[in-house]
Amino acid sequence: MGQGIVLRQFHIHDFAIIDQLDLELDQGMTVFTGETGAGKSILVDALGLVLGDRADSTVVRSGCERAEITAVFSIKDHATASDLLREHGLEGNDAEECIVRRIIGNDGRSRAFIDGSPVPVQLLRELGNQLVDIHGQQEHHSLTRRDVQRNLLDDFAQHHDQLERITQAFDEWKQASEALQALQGSHHDRDARIALLRYQIQELEALRLGPSELEALEEEHARLANMNRIVEGCQGAVSASSEADGSAVEQLNRAVRGLQDLHAFDEALRPMTELLESAVIQVGEAAMGLRHYLDKLEANPERLNWVEDRISALQEMARKHHVPADKLLGQLSQLQREFQSLEHSEERFKELKAQQEKSYESYIRSAKALHDSRRRASGQLANAIMTNMRKLGMPGGRFTIEVRAIEGQDPSPHGMDQVEYLVTTNPGQALRPLSKVASGGELSRLSLAIQVIGAKGRGISTLVFDEIDAGIGGQVAEIVGQQLRTLAADRQVLCVTHLPQVASQSHHHVQVMKEARGQQTHTHIAVLNGYERVKEIARMLGGIKITEQTIKHAREMLEHGINA
């Protein structure tokens, strides 16, 4: 069996009707069987949640605080998943294993973890797309959508690189187109805007603004407006420090002389005396500095008026431009940049137009190459699906895939094709869109035929099929089992089924059981081998009482399935 991503362990706690469940899995085909309502599909739901599906409080087991789901994957030799983990700094010491955990509280809140690190649920979805491909009964209906049909064709043809080129060309075209549209939208008012900007710039330049000018003007205004207080304060300080009777200098000198007389008795007083002598010098220098300051100081009413007028002019201009006065220089720079941009908008328009045309040409080349590849792949996929249809009980069925290039529309991230699946299940009938198939049973079998082939085209190594074999039986059911077992030759296939023809062909068999304990229902599992598996196949074959004939039939089915 092949290598790749494999779900190794699965742990569920307090989820729906499951209180505690631990399951170990391996490669190959594993089936889950059991009575209706036992909880088989709940296992698939839990797997979907741990891989990023939407969650709410209803999934938490009644009476419990939270549900917890943990899945352990082996990712050896799977570069895409490893790269995704490495990109988000999540690749731990064991690069061969990845542990994914999801916790849902009874308040509906959800937390997600990869290798023990909290992550957004969106990252779980991205990783889940690399880890597991889940096919459920609901996909019978989603397969009728054209976008799903297109994606399945692209997966089958392995168009990942081509779609990446398409997306890149689309993004470049879109960015250039949006920038061009914005420029064109402003082009109508360009002349009026340029005239206004020219006037505003000239007005601001006429002010001859200096850096930090307002701050300097406000400081000067504070000095000029309070000249009398400044003079009085400085004169008082000079008088108190050195000129008045009993001034600070006079009293300090007296203290110095008194201490000098005491040095003869104790030299320890000398350092304090020297400090006082230094204070005399500093007070004297301060008084001298204040005298020089007063000599230069003079009232200047004219200068005060000019400063006030200048501040008023700046504040008026600031109100006009709706900015703080200290931001006027920045406003001038911004207006000059916008003026330059509009002055050169013609050059920018030509540049953007060239970018738009270049990216559009690149897009068209990629879209045409993708269209041709889709046309070639559509025939191969259609033939494979049609072969599968005939094996699944529709011998007269015909299937084709129509790929039409849509002309005259804007580019899209997935190319310019419309892909539609057309089918007829009976000879002589015209081909119709898959969405027009009336019979639910036919749609179920068509879905299975498509999904089995589609799964082969995907690079994912773990596939989950949840009762997609509903509504079929007999020889067709046996063929379904054969196809699922063939898929499991190089990957891991997990299948929820009610059909003994499918279950008998699996490599591993897990029985899901439900039992009532008191007022609550509990689900548990058993890995079946030997006679226990024979009994489960016999139960699935039907009948109230399991007879020796039923047991014999079950044993024969298992032997045939194992040797198939």
Distance CA(505)–CA(29), nearest Å, equals 8
Angle CA(148)–CA(154)–CA(488) in degrees, nearest 5? 90
Assign 511 to helix, strand or coil. strand
Q: What is the structure's pLDDT at 438?
A: 53
Both tokens assigned to 314: 């700046």
Query: How buried is 347 (Cβ within 10 angstroms: 0-12 exposed, 13-18 middle, 19+ buried)?
Result: exposed
Where are the alpha helices (H) located in 64-159, listed in sequence order?
A: 79-87, 121-131, 139-142, 146-157
Backbone dihedral angles phi then psi of residue 497, each to the nearest 5 degrees: -145, 155
Q: What is the structure's pLDDT at 564?
A: 60
* 212: nearest Cα among 330, 300, 322, 320: 330
Is residue 513 a contact partner of residue 18, using CB atoms and an 8 Å limit?
no
In the chain, ranges of CATH 3.40.50.300 domains:
1-137+458-527
Query: How buried is 282 (Cβ within 10 angstroms: 0-12 exposed, 13-18 middle, 19+ buried)?
Result: exposed
Distance CA(18)–CA(60), nearest Å, equals 9
Domain 1-137+458-527 matching CATH 3.50.50.60: the answer reads: no
Tell me the one-letter amino acid at 333. Answer: S
Residue holding tokens 């170990």? 24
Is residue 73 a contact partner of residue 5, using CB atoms and an 8 Å limit?
yes
CB atoms under 10 Å from CB of 261, counted, come to 9
Is residue 249 a contact partner of residue 241, using CB atoms and an 8 Å limit?
yes
Is residue 231 a contact partner of residue 300, using CB atoms and an 8 Å limit?
no
Distance CA(530)–CA(554), nearest Å, equals 12
pLDDT per residue as tens, the chain (564 positions): 444 568 899 999 999 888 899 999 988 999 999 888 788 888 989 998 999 888 889 999 988 999 999 999 888 766 677 778 878 877 654 567 889 999 999 998 999 999 888 999 999 888 887 788 777 765 555 677 888 889 889 988 989 899 999 999 999 999 888 888 777 655 556 777 788 888 999 999 988 888 888 888 888 888 888 888 888 898 898 888 888 888 888 889 888 898 998 888 888 999 999 999 999 899 989 989 988 988 888 778 888 899 889 999 999 999 999 988 888 988 899 888 878 877 776 777 788 889 999 999 999 999 999 999 999 999 999 999 898 888 877 888 889 999 999 877 789 999 999 999 999 887 878 898 887 875 555 676 777 778 777 666 665 678 888 877 777 777 888 888 888 888 888 788 899 999 999 999 999 999 998 887 767 777 889 999 999 999 999 999 876 688 888 999 999 999 887 666
CB atoms under 10 Å from CB of 273, counted, come to 17
Q: What is the structure's pLDDT at 2?
A: 45
Q: What is the structure's pLDDT at 93?
A: 46
CB atoms under 10 Å from CB of 294, counted, come to 15
Handedness of CA 379, 381, 384, 385 (dihedral sign): negative
CB atoms under 10 Å from CB of 167, counted, come to 16
Distance CA(89)–CA(75), nearest Å, equals 16
Distance CA(401)–CA(382), nearest Å, equals 6
* 513: nearest Cα among 12, 42, 17, 39: 39
Q: What is the structure's pLDDT at 301?
A: 84
Distance CA(220)–CA(242), nearest Å, equals 29
Tell me the one-letter amino acid at 560. Answer: H
Q: Which pairing describes strands 28-33 and 508-517: parallel, antiparallel, or unpaired?
A: parallel
Query: How buried is 542 (Cβ within 10 angstroms: 0-12 exposed, 13-18 middle, 19+ buried)?
Result: exposed
Distance CA(503)–CA(523), nearest Å, equals 20
Is residue 543 a contact partner of residue 524, using CB atoms and an 8 Å limit?
no
The answer, as to whether pTM is greater than 0.75, is no
Distance CA(149)–CA(434), nearest Å, equals 10
